[in-house]
Structure 1
Amino acid sequence: MFSHPYGWIAAGGFLISLLTITVCASRVIIIAHAKRIGSNDDAEVRIRALFGLIKFKYQIPTAKLEGLAIKVQEEISTQHAAGRGTWKEYNDEINPEKVVSSIEKMKQVLQLTRDLTGWLRKTMTKVELTKWNWSTSIGTGDAMWTAMATGVVWSVQSSVLGVLSQFLQLKAEPVMTVNPLFNRSAFATEWSCIAQIRFGYAILAGLQLLHRMKKSKGGVKAWQNILSKA
């Protein structure tokens, strides 16, 4: 078979097809973790793709309230197959003006792109949630108010999971706890989750979004102009 040129072509085509199927069937894994203890915040998102050959990390180690603004320090790092990566650090400020501006830019993006929310809902249905842990401890120093606050926090945690479960595929039993601290005033919460989507679905969703962007008024350039000012 391999003595004939067509045999090598067929073998090459088979290997390329097998590699393509393997890559498309691989999973993009998203690991998120956040916690708040007192006034200290820590949040991190890690993304792995192509069997760990591609890694991405986004971290917000500090967030301090200063007047009406929030000072944040962001860390972003990426790593590829060769083991080399890039790391960037940003210092920024989130204030009411920036929040309002970001909301307006998002409205423009939604108006610009046909059925962007439909694309988002369809993409989210391909995402599998394989871990969901959320634990909160709260105390106000007063037994009655602590009991009320515990109920409110539990409702919030349950509502967030309930909304997400309408869009994502819940593949694991969620773990949620709310611990009342009746003898002191304190607040601490820690949340972690693992979500995954097949690489092929992620690529297809990206191509569909790019197609919608090109079909929108002003095309991709209009998107870039809006997001660059956000």
Structure 2
Amino acid sequence: MSWWVWTLLILAALLLLLLVIIFITKLTITVSLYHGNDNDHFKVMLRAWYGILKYTIDIPMVKVDDDGPNVVLEEKKKAGDAASSSKEKEEKKKVTPSEFMNSLKDTKTLLVHVRSLHRIIRHFMKKVKMDDVIWHTKIGTGDAAATGSFTGAIWGLKGSIISLMSGYIRLQSMPDLQVVPDFQQAIIQTRFSCIIQFRIGNAILVGFKILRFWRGGRAAFKTRPLSTISGEKHSV
């Protein structure tokens, strides 16, 4: 065989190897959330290949807009480790009620156009692992009786949510749940963190299945990035 045939074979083999590596690569997502009265913080870190690839989304501020019924987010995105600041981007985002409603409409559109979407998602979620779940809450209303009632209700709510999650996701360890009543003051503090892991190939297969079981014509999505698929212009 001539040299260009060998070159094509080598390139095809390398491409196939790359696809296999991508499919079997595990993506680890670390989620941390803090809410304390007017202080909110949300952080998501994505890691692959034992931390060689890292991407962090940090939202240190969430507040209600003074000019209208909007939610203002201060978002920081960073590629690489924490010491690297050259690839960090900061921006403020405003989430409006119309954007929230558009998200709900897009969800309904997906349910209409994708046959057995719930089954596709559930099959994927069964391959997702969740570990190191920590969910601590401190609650106080200023009234001892009401605080006790709220404490019991929050315990019940947490138990129901964890039970529901365990039916979809593979919990690797017993969640660390706490609800601490504060009978001296009105306060609400919540800390939540967990580690989620799945193979990138399983997520790619979800996309293929959505295309395979798509029914009807082109959908008119309104939110990013779904609006890019439908060719709709996204209004800012």
CA distance in 2, matches of 1:75, 1:97: 24
CA distance in 2, matches of 1:57, 1:102: 23
CA distance in 2, matches of 1:227, 1:108: 17
Contact 1:138 1:149 in 2 (8 A): yes
Higher deviation after alignment, 108-117 or 215-224? 215-224
Contact 1:31 1:195 in 2 (8 A): yes
Aligned partner of 1:38 in structure 2 is 37
Contact 1:73 1:91 in 2 (8 A): yes
CA distance in 2, matches of 1:62, 1:51: 29
Give the structure with the larger helix fraction. 1
Runs (5+) with no aligned partner, structure 1: 1-8
Aligned partner of 2:222 in structure 1 is none
Q: Secondary structure at the match of 1:153?
A: helix
CA distance in 2, matches of 1:125, 1:150: 31
Q: Secondary structure at the match of 1:52?
A: coil
Aligned partner of 2:4 in structure 1 is none
One-letter amino acid matched to 1:175: D
Aligned partner of 2:64 in structure 1 is 65
Deviation at 1:229, TM superposition (A): 5.6
Aligned partner of 2:97 in structure 1 is 96
* Residues 100-150 of structure 1 deviation map (CA, whole Å, 9 limit, x = unaligned): 222112212322333322221111110011221100001111110000111
CA distance in 1, matches of 2:18, 2:105: 43
One-letter amino acid matched to 1:51: Y
Runs (5+) with no aligned partner, structure 2: 1-8, 220-225
1:217 matched to 2:217? The reply is yes
CA distance in 1, matches of 2:231, 2:155: 41
Among all aligned residue pairs of Structure 1 and Structure 2, give the percentage whose two residues are the same amino acid.
27
Superposition map of 1:4-19 within 5 A: none
Q: How many residues align?
A: 218
Aligned partner of 1:152 in structure 2 is 153
Contact 1:129 1:168 in 2 (8 A): yes
CA distance in 1, matches of 2:16, 2:98: 51
Q: Secondary structure at the match of 2:173?
A: coil
1:164 matched to 2:165? The reply is yes
CA distance in 1, matches of 2:99, 2:206: 29
TM-score normalized by the length of structure 1: 0.78
Aligned partner of 1:111 in structure 2 is 112
CA distance in 1, matches of 2:120, 2:88: 31
Distance 1:43 1:181, change over 3 A: same
Distance 1:42 1:166, change over 3 A: same
* Residues 130-185 of structure 1 deviation map (CA, whole Å, 9 limit, x = unaligned): 22110000111111000011112222222221111110011111110000001111
Contact 1:105 1:226 in 2 (8 A): no
Higher deviation after alignment, 91-100 or 43-52? 91-100
Contact 2:37 2:189 in 1 (8 A): yes
* Residues 70-114 of structure 1 deviation map (CA, whole Å, 9 limit, x = unaligned): 21122233349xx99844333222233332222112212322333
1:142 matched to 2:139? The reply is no
* Residues 8-32 of structure 1 deviation map (CA, whole Å, 9 limit, x = unaligned): x9xxx7x998887666444211100
TM-score normalized by the length of structure 2: 0.77
